[in-house]
Structure 1
Amino acid sequence: MRRSLIQVTVLAVVLSVIITAISLVIDWFPEQASTSADDVDLLYDVLLIVSVPIFVLVMTVVVYSVVRFRARPGDDRDGDPIHGNARLEIAWIAIPTVLVTALAVYAWVVLDDQEDPRPDTMLVNVRAGQFAWRFEYPQPGGQSVRSNELYLPKDRPVQFRIKTDDVVHSFWIPEFRIKQDTVPGIVTRTQTVPSRAGDYDVVCAELCGLGHSTMRQQVHVMEGDRFASWIGARRQALAAAAPEPGRQVFTTYGCAGCHTLEDAGAAAATGPSLDGLAEVYDKRNPRLSLEAYVRQSIVDPKALVVPGFRADGMPANYSSQLSRAEIDTLVDYLARASSSSSGPGTAATVPPPAGPPR
């Protein structure tokens, strides 16, 4: 029996070393693009170093017990009566408790350091809605620069204040190693310091509806002077132009994240192009006027689905999210803007206004 235990122990140790080494060699995460990414990756490695040997030890004992103490054919006897071992029971309760507590403290230290307030932190408001992200940069005077993609300066702390207009979402930037749920009715926060210039994905990591997989946009990390030029151009445009109410509703509720509309500088292709609707609406539904067709598409998007696009791609709750006045304003704007544009699909190559130098 003692010899068998020694053999099982040696086997468990050898397997633990091999599997742990393989686990540490595997590149589990994308490239690091924030100052906290290295700490998060190290925490993950420590969790692997602790948990893999425990898993291997437990499974080795289980397999050994199944093989060594299995009932032979024709053996219907009860097993030998045995008594518990108090010291062993104390050990297998105390050791996991200490390990889990130590790992929890270590994880708390990493999280606390990541969320520690930093000077010169930039605030970005993030709004989630089925199925797009919207970003706002508060400016002096109460106005905000709005964007359907996230632009950040390199090496400057950023705090995200996250809200949702409908259901639970999860704000996740894998390269930053940050992920924060959005919960209806409250504001959640997370922060980071981007450390590598480049383009990365902003992903929803919580199943939020049938169009969940399309809730993916871009974060552009750039040098400080390039970001200053981008935000400066947006501030000038904000100060110089009286906002078109319909265009404001269009951008505020994330329509530009899915549709192409030349007047709004939108060039997304998740949903049908809104340019040139006057030329096609009567072919799609000859019983409706252009305004009625646009209104139906907003408040009851499944009533008519344009061929080639998914029925679940358009949120079905805009009738409750938008007020009657906002819907009327949006319908009037889309009818005018789409009639004056260059035709369905032709604006897909028009870049967003005042974009950063790329």
Structure 2
Amino acid sequence: MRRHPILQMFAIGVVAAAVITALALAIDWFPPAASTAADKIDTLYDVVILCSIPIFVLVMTIAIYSVVKFRARPGHEGDGAPLHGNTQLELLWVAIPFVIVSALAAYALVVLSDIEAKEPDALPVAVTAQQFTWTFGYPQAGGATSTELVLPRGRQAVLRIRTRDVIHSFWVPAMRMKQDAVPGLTTEVRITPTREGTYPLVCAELCGAGHATMRQTVRVVAPERFQAWLRRLGGGATASRGATPGAASAVETASASGRS
């Protein structure tokens, strides 16, 4: 091995790539999955790690080896040995990244098409961003609004997102979905929740001095509880009595909006 430094270099690179890739895959980068898109996106992320880390480690191994092996010795002030290009090698190191990137792009396109597939019974929700809060409107409740996003488990929701001021970014980490809110445009994202619970909703775009406070929640409930909550939301302030946990504040917000 010592007589073959290039072989030694590649052996070190392979071992380092295997160790670093295993560590990267062992780390739990994301919160528990809470939507149908989450597992697909997590798998895509793992595939990208498997492709990118070995290439990065190999390139850095060659670069470090070249810097150490071919560095200028003390007192040497002459030019290095003349080098000539290798056309076949240049074609190879262009073709291989092209194939890898094209394959990853095709795979990502398939995943994107899958998670954005439209379902006929999708629940429409109007999402409005404004420094520094989110508001959610439900057409089924007569357009009543809530400061908490409540969604039924197992049913696709189509969120139509707009902003009243600057650019914001709608992001629910547990559902792996992110979409910008752009002034003058209505963007769209589709989410199908799979687990009941309460999940953080944050703005992922620096939108002003209060950006860090632009945090609310997404609450996923059983379909029958969602229908009951929706009826209470559309019923105004009187419906807040006996509302399901977490719904009262939303109803009060909606009734306050109506009075204003």
Question: With structure 1 as the length reference, what TM-score do the two structures score?
Answer: 0.66
Q: Which residue does the alignment assign to 2:25? A: 24
Indicate the RMSD between aligned Cα atoms, in angstroms.
2.1
> Structure 2 counterpart of 1:206, which letter?
E
CA contact under 8 A between 1:153 and 1:223: conserved in structure 2? yes
Alignment of 1:6-45 (within 5 A): 6-45=7-46
Deviation at 1:72, TM superposition (A): 0.9
Which residue is equivalent to 1:216?
Answer: 215
C-alpha offsets along residues 49-71 of structure 1, whole Å, 9 cap, x if unaligned?
A: 00000000011011101110011
**How far apart are the structure 2 equivalents of 1:30 and 1:185?**
33
Cα deviation, residue 119, structure 1: 2.4
For residues 242-273 of structure 1, give each alpha carbon's deviation from its aligned partner in whole angstroms, at most 9, with x where no partner exists.
xxxxxxxxxxxxxxxxxxxx9x946xxxxxxx
The 8 Å contact of residues 140 and 230 in structure 2, kept in 1 or not, is answered as no
Gap regions ≥5 residues in structure 2: 240-248, 254-258
Cα deviation for residue 77 of structure 1 reads: 1.1
Which amino acid in the other structure matches residue 38 of structure 1?
A: D
CA distance in structure 2 between the partners assigned to 1:155 and 1:147 by the alignment: 21
Q: Could you say which structure has the greater relative contact order, defined with CA pairs below 8 angstroms and 6 or more residues apart?
A: 2
Asked if 1 retains the 8 angstrom alpha-carbon contact of 2:237 and 2:252, the reply is no
Name the residue aligned to 1:188. Answer: 187
2-side partners of 1:236 and 1:166: how far apart? 30
Q: Structure 1 residue 145: deviation in Å?
A: 1.9
Aligned equivalents of 1:64, 1:217: Cα separation in 2: 50
In 2: Cα distance, 1:97 partner to 1:67 partner:
29
Q: Which digits, 9 at most, give the CA deviation of each residue in 1:132-164, with x for residues without a partner?
A: 000001137xx3021011001101110100001
User: What is the match of residue 204 of structure 2?
Assistant: 205
**1:239 positional shift:** 10
CA contact 2:236–2:252 (8 Å) conserved in 1? no
* Larger of the two Rg values belongs to structure: 1
Q: Deviations over 1:148-200 (max 9, x none)?
A: 11001101110100001111110000000000011110110010100000000
How much has 1:237 moved relative to structure 2? 2.4
Q: In structure 2, what is the Cα distance between the partners aligned to 1:21 and 1:32? A: 21
Aligned equivalents of 2:66, 2:59: Cα separation in 1: 11
Counterpart position of 1:136? 137
1:273-288 equivalences in 2 (<5 Å): none
- Alignment of structure 1 residues 258-297 onto 2, 5 Å: 265=252
Higher share of residues assigned strand: 2
Contact 1:128 1:163 in 2 (8 A): yes
Contact in 2 for aligned 1:158/1:193 (Cα 8 Å): yes
Residue 108 of structure 1 corresponds to 109
Unaligned runs of 5+ in 1: 241-261, 267-329, 334-358
Query: Secondary structure at 1:139's aligned position in 2?
Result: helix
Identity %: 51
User: Would the alpha carbon gap of residues 222 and 75 (structure 1) be closer, same or farther in structure 2, given more than 3 Å must change?
Assistant: same
The code of the aligned residue for 2:75 comes to G
Superimposed CA distance per residue, residues 12-48 of structure 1 (whole angstroms, 9 cap, x where no aligned partner): 1111111000000000000100011000000000000
Query: Match for 1:190: what amino acid?
Result: V
Contact 2:150 2:219 in 1 (8 A): yes
Q: 1:95 corresponds to which residue? A: 96
| 2:229 matched residue in structure 1 | 230
User: CA shift at 1:225, angstroms?
Assistant: 1.1
Equivalent residue, structure 1, for 2:6: 5
Deviation by residue 1:177-236 (Cα, 9 ceiling, x = unmatched): 000011110110010100000000111000011110000001110111111110011222
Give the paired residue count: 245
Query: If the length of structure 2 is used for normalisation, what is the TM-score?
Result: 0.90
On the 8 A contact 1:145/1:238 being kept in 2, the answer is no
Q: Which amino acid aligns with 2:106?
A: V
Q: Distance in 2 between matches of 1:185 and 1:195?
A: 32
Question: Aligned partners of 2:252, 2:116: CA distance in 1, in Å?
Answer: 36
